[in-house]
Amino acid sequence: MSTPEVLVQHDRDALAASVAARLVTVIVEAQSDRGHVHLCLAGGGIITRCLSALRASPACDSVDWSSVHVWWADERFLPEGDAERNETSARLALLDSVPLDPAHVHPMPAEDGRRGVDEAASHYSQTLLRESRQDDHAAVPSFDITLLGIGEDAHVASLFPQSPAVHEAERWVVGVHGAPKPPAARISLTLRALAASQEIWLIASGAAKADAVRLALSPAGSVQVPAAGARGRERTLLLLDADAASALPAEMGRPASP
């Protein structure tokens, strides 16, 4: 796993703009190298703000969106189109405004009254397995970039501290029952699946996240601090605003640039 790098912007808007610019650069480079890109998204306010900043950026048109695959790191098990679903937020912020190939957008299953959350998680796992290629060197696609928020309790995706999901070492996707924040039922990639990512970007904004950010960089184990277990194969970035970085030693963070 890669060693985390910490990059700090002065406020939330600057952070979102910086993430958007960085995302364009990495996507375009990956397209030049491989011709296709796998982007994995989580939910949360700062992730949505970053996607909105990308939509508003003139550089958005530099991306060949037809070759971008979009995945989700987790999802709230709610009906399709529900405003609380991560898919809904991502579509409003960016995805419905760019020319993606619909076949390349892979949302996690919605609650439809016909199957439970565990069956839905198994279905998404099979979707991942079908899309894996030989050059991924894993049974699931090697996501080029995975964007994750950090919860105040240091959870990532829907992997909450000391929950059964953080102990999962075999499955790629799990159904989450009894999540400590609503809704209780969720679907999440496991740490094993997240570890297939070439790059993981942990993005946090606001003073309420400062302790969680500090813990994410501590020696704490991933069972107690899931964010400490989210590491990319080639690179792990903690992209923060000054408030989220306020509990870190001054020498740990450095000013960010795209």
Going by pLDDT thresholds of 50, 70 and 90, the confidence category of residue 82 is: very high
pLDDT band at 258 (very low <50, low <70, confident <90, very high): very low
Q: What is the mean pLDDT of the chain?
A: 94
Q: Distances from the Cα of 127 to the Cαs of 107, 124, 131, 140, 190, in angstroms? A: 10, 5, 7, 9, 15
250 pLDDT band, cuts 50/70/90, is confident
- Flag whether the pTM goes above 0.85: yes
pLDDT-above-70 percentage for the chain: 97
- The region of weakest confidence among 4-13, 57-66, 138-147, 168-177 is 138-147
pLDDT above 90: percentage of residues in the chain: 87
C-alpha span between 117 and 174 (Å, rounded): 8
The CATH code for residues 8-255 is 3.40.50.1360
Question: Would you tell me how many other CB atoms lie within 10 Å of the CB of residue 75?
Answer: 29
For residue 237, pLDDT over 60 is answered with: yes
Length of the chain, in residues: 258
Strand-pairing partners, residue 147, are 41, 201
Peptide bond into 183 cis (omega under 30): yes
> Tens digits of per-residue pLDDT, 22-77?
999 999 999 998 888 999 999 999 999 999 999 999 999 999 999 999 999 999 99
Per-domain boundaries in the chain: 8-255
Q: Average pLDDT in the 116-141 region?
A: 88
Provide the pLDDT for residue 251. 65
Q: What is the dihedral of CA 153, 251, 194, 163, to 10 degrees?
A: -20
Which pair of tokens denotes residue 117? 């959350």
Q: What is the pLDDT of residue 257?
A: 46
Q: What does the H/E/C string look like for 72-134?
A: ECEEECCCCCCCCCHHHHHHHHCHHHCCCCHHHECCCCCCCCCCCHHHHHHHHHHHHHHHCCH
